[in-house]
């Protein structure tokens, strides 16, 4: 399917409070300093065009939201949508979502992580590029507060099943998977992401799961065979201008 061109961004829109480069954050991201308050923080890895981020921030003004997107044009588009909507509780970061989650967030500081329709990297030799790798999953485990949740949706059954197998191998405090019922849509944009909309309108399945952070000390399990799992090579990230967490044509 041909990709739709992204809309042009009005140059008059001030993006300074809604878009930041990862490199501009310093050594750590301080959500209280950025948003000017202390509130539950939710992070979306791979925000694409920003449908989830805009809707979630609008519907839950008592929470703060951060989206991270590797593709700069998509990050700018999402930041512009946040600014145009006047959302003071949401920020778009242009950069690597795995690195942001692992290096820039404090432990026990995030109420929820969201990963929707990540690139499946179909070829076996490319699967080490999948965003849901050991580094990200262990970062999620460390950064979530007790009771915090990981939301994972995909339309690729193999990716879904392999991720559900990977999580208990590389983490010890993520309880799940907990089933997620398919939500009812009441209008044309009543979907979590654009990609969910396209998938469901095509009457194709969406695989959904939630994991809950348990209390306790994080313990890093060793691989049973002494080697890293196939999807664990987090250094093999895609360097092109493609969204890391969503389909480039829709999300």
pLDDT band at 239 (very low <50, low <70, confident <90, very high): very low
Query: Mind telling me the catalytic residues?
Result: 119
162 Cβ neighbours under 8 A, 6+ residues apart: 231
CATH superfamily of 19-232: Vaccinia Virus protein VP39 (3.40.50.150)
Q: In this predicted model, what pLDDT tens digit does every residue of 34-45 receive, in sequence order?
A: 999 999 999 999
Average pLDDT (98-109) is 97
Q: In this predicted model, what pLDDT tens digit does every residue of 61-86 receive, in sequence order?
A: 999 999 999 999 999 999 999 999 99
- Per-domain residue ranges of the chain: 19-232
Helices and strands in the chain, H and E counts: 7, 8
Q: What is residue 248's predicted lDDT score, i.e. its pLDDT?
A: 39
Q: What is residue 163's predicted lDDT score, i.e. its pLDDT?
A: 96
pLDDT band at 118 (very low <50, low <70, confident <90, very high): confident
Q: In this predicted model, what pLDDT tens digit does every residue of 140-180 receive, in sequence order?
A: 999 999 999 999 999 889 999 999 999 999 999 999 999 88
């Amino acid at each position: 399917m041909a990709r739709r061109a992204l809309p042009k961004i009005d140059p008059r829109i001030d993006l300074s409070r809604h878009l930041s480069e990862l490199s501009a954050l310093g050594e750590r991201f301080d959500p209280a300093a950025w948003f000017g308050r202390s509130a539950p923080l939710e992070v979306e890895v791979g925000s694409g065009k920003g449908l989830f981020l805009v809707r979630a921030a609008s519907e839950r003004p008592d929470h703060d939201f951060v989206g991270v997107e590797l593709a700069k044009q998509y990050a700018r588009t999402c930041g512009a949508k946040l600014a145009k909507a006047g959302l003071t509780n949401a920020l778009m970061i242009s950069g690597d979502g795995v690195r942001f989650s692992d290096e820039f967030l404090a432990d026990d500081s995030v109420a929820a992580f969201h990963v929707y329709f990540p690139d499946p990297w179909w070829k076996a030799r490319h699967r080490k590029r999948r965003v849901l790798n050991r580094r990200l999953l262990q970062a999620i485990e460390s950064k979530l507060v007790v009771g915090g949740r990981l939301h994972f949706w995909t339309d690729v059954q193999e990716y879904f099943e392999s991720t559900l197998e990977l999580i208990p191998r590389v983490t010890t405090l993520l309880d799940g998977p907990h089933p997620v019922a398919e939500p009812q849509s009441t209008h044309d944009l009543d979907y979590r992401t654009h990609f969910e909309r396209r998938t469901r309108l095509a009457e194709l399945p969406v695989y959904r799961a939630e994991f809950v952070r348990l209390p306790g000390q994080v313990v890093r399990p060793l691989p049973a065979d002494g080697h890293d799992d196939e999807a664990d090579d987090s250094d093999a990230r895609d360097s092109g201008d493609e969204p890391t967490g969503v389909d480039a044509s829709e999300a």
